[in-house]
Amino acid sequence: MRVIDRYAFGNALRQIDPAQKGALALLAIILCLALDRPAVGALALIWMLALTTWWARIPLRVSGRVLLTEGLFLGLSIIGIALSIGGKTPETTVVAWQIGALWISMTPESLALVTLVLTRSLGCAAALNFLILTTPLVDLIDLMRRIRLPEGLIDIMALTYRAIFVLLDCLERMTTAQDARLGYATARAAMRSAALLASQLFLTAYRRSQRAQIALESRGFDGTLRVLPLTYQRSPRVWQASIALTASLLLAGIVR
């Protein structure tokens, strides 16, 4: 969370209009889903990682780690698609194991499906990662305000995002205080400390919200969080990148 946030605020594309970056990511996702071929997904993955690395100048180590985390969840869920379990001896298989009366097998069809799901998902994930690694939530919230999503929703997002960091700091201080009094010395103590921490953190969050409400009212809060719109640069290079991306993905999607 903090790593993503740090790069989001300090990358080479920070000043670019979030609408442009969002459009680019959305375009890649739509093309990935519409063209629906492994080659398209793989190409989109390469494109978005390349843009994140060379254009936004975010180390591949960082974007790779984010992608790997997502890939891990994906990997767990595609096991179910790849393998089929049955009582009969499977006919066409790539690999098959017999455990007692059961057969665990992988067919060419399931393997093709897995490749498709994997490339498509990773391509989309890389596009989304490009957006979240280059655009801090502050800018995304500003973008949502611009496209006129309901204000209540946006205010809640904005407050939650800020509260996460305040509570994270608070959590760290409380854990350190517990640790200093051997709160995590044994597994038993750790369980107890964690439970206490959770209830204490809830109380802290509640009290904080009351103080925050008072502070907001002091500055004339009347139910809407009015703030200045942020200013950005429009870059023609985003449109150029979008055209190049569309052309190459279409090519990969149509040419046999």
Residues in the site for other proteins, rule: CB under 8 A? Answer: 5-6, 9, 136-138, 158-159, 161-162, 165-166, 169, 208, 211-212, 214-222, 225-230
Q: Which is nearer to other proteins, 131 or 137 (CB)?
A: 137
CA 43/CA 8 separation, integer angstroms: 24
Nearer to other proteins (CB atom), residue 4 or residue 82: 4
14-35 in b/e burial notation, b at 16+ Cβ within 10 A? bebbbbbbbebbebbbebbeeb
CB of 57 or CB of 162, closer to other proteins: 162
DSSP string over 135-168 = S-HHHHHHHHHHTT--HHHHHHHHHHHHHHHHHH
CA 41 – CA 119 distance, rounded (Å): 5
Q: How far is the CB of 166 from other proteins (least distance, A)?
A: 5
Work out how close the CB of 133 gets to other proteins at its nearest, in angstroms, rounded to a whole number. Answer: 15
User: What is the nearest approach in angstroms of other proteins to the Cβ of residue 21?
Assistant: 17
Task: Pick between residue 7 and residue 47 the one whose CB is nearest to other proteins.
Answer: 7
Task: State the virtual CA torsion across 33, 34, 38, 39 in degrees, nearest 10.
Answer: -120
Based on CB atoms, which residue is closest to other proteins, 79 or 228? Answer: 228
Q: How far is the CB of 4 from other proteins (least distance, A)?
A: 12
Other C-beta atoms within 10 Å of 173: how many?
11
- Tally of CB atoms within 10 A around 95: 10
CA distance 234 to 214: 38
* Smallest separation (angstroms) from other proteins to the CB of 156: 12
For other proteins, give the closer residue by CB, 88 or 219. Answer: 219
d(CA 98, CA 121): 31
Min dist CB 152 to other proteins, Å, is 15
